[in-house]
Amino acid sequence: MMSLAWYLVLSVLCICGTKGEAFQQSSFRGGSSSHQQRPTDVTSNTRRHTWELPLPSPSSLSSVNRNKPYVLELAEAKISEIEADSKESSANVSSVAATEISDGGGSSSREKVVKLAVGSFSAVAIAAKTGLIAGDAYTDAMIFSDIGTGILTAVLGYVFVKANTLLAKAGILEPKVTRKTIHTFSAPLYMIFWPLYSDYGRFFAACVPLINALRLYLAGNGEEEELGAAVSRSGEVKEAIEGPFVYVVILAISILLFWRESSMVSIIPLCAMAGGDGPADLIGRKFGKTNKWFFSPEKSVAGTMAFFTGATLFSLGIAAWWNFVGLSASGLPPVTGSVAAQVAAITGVCALVELLPNLDDNYSVPLTAAVLSAVVFLQQ
């Protein structure tokens, strides 16, 4: 760039030197008004460089400029213009490259999710078809039905999360609100569809949260920024691989360990983790500023009451729904007054555990609920 600049300087000195010096001499001596008929800059619609620059009047030249040859001023101006154009072109190229890289990253993340979905469903289907899951009892009709249910719930889950990410991106809802909305409703909404699976469909059902776990992992590493921003408190995408990631992993583990054979042991822990913790944060932030617990200043009485109410209602609601659709599963009692009292006692203990400092409620709450639910309901 500097070699080209000096070449241009020398060219100007050779071509325009005589004319510039003559102009200066005649102008400063009060000569003719040649500066009024100076050449103009002729340009077209396409941007191009020209050396036919207008010459200034003597009155516009400062004392400093008068001591500098005008040809040199022209050369310096042209060099600055060329360098500015070069920087602008470089910036445009960098912007295009960044856009292409960003688009490629999004495409790559989608490919990874699709590959995991196809691979996981295919692996479970092969295992079911070869009798590794339930032998001959797992018929082809059940397998195809479970595949369809898995795909349906995965798509609906994607739509639900995508709607919240768009709301956060548009600034309609704050990230902390969309985060807790997803947190509160993801597991309960998914559990509404569990009766569509067959009795042997737990592995297909577990594929859905595992797919979402990959999405959150990619979001936490910057490959799905919209999702990362929607499930984070502060908008930092790295938070996607913290609480939200643990959430879907616990959901998958609960499906694999308990499924529907131990219905209340599946329902209460997941509803406490989702329907309890989510409302506790939202209600606590809004109404808990003046009623903090003395031993846990980050938690409030309002948030604790919201936790207890949400966890209890979600648990009883899912149990009532499963009973309503005729789901035959062991450990699923009808929702009576005594059952409601037992569920409330368990969720009440979980609400107190959630208050304990130095404990991660993503682990402590569902673990406490699972142990108490097993003690209470598996003995009946």
Would you state the pLDDT for residue 44? 45
Would you state the pLDDT for residue 168? 82
Query: Per 3-state DSSP, what percentage of the chain is helix, strand, and coil (rounded to 5)?
Result: 75, 0, 25
pLDDT tens, residue by residue, 49-102: 444 545 555 554 444 455 455 556 666 666 676 666 666 655 554 554 444 444
135: left (phi over 0), alpha (psi -120 to 50) or beta: left
Type of residue at 152 = L
**Residue 39: pLDDT band by 50, 70, 90 thresholds?**
very low
Largest Cα separation within the chain, whole Å, is 115
pLDDT: is 130 or 229 the higher one? 130
Measured distance CA(78)–CA(82) in Å, rounded: 6
Measured distance CA(87)–CA(93) in Å, rounded: 10
pLDDT tens, residue by residue, 94-147: 554 444 444 444 458 888 889 999 999 999 999 999 999 998 899 999 999 999
Q: What is the pTM of this model?
A: 0.69
pLDDT tens, residue by residue, 323-335: 999 886 666 888 9
Facing residues of 300 across strands? 292
Facing residues of 292 across strands? 300
pLDDT of 48 > 70? The answer is no
Would you state the pLDDT for residue 74? 61
116: CB partners within 8 A, 6+ apart: 210, 211, 214
Q: What percent of the chain has pLDDT over 70?
A: 70
Contact by Cβ (8 Å): 206, 116: no
Type of residue at 77 = A
**How many whole angstroms from its chain centre is CA 379?**
43
123: CB partners within 8 A, 6+ apart: none
Would you state the pLDDT for residue 8? 54
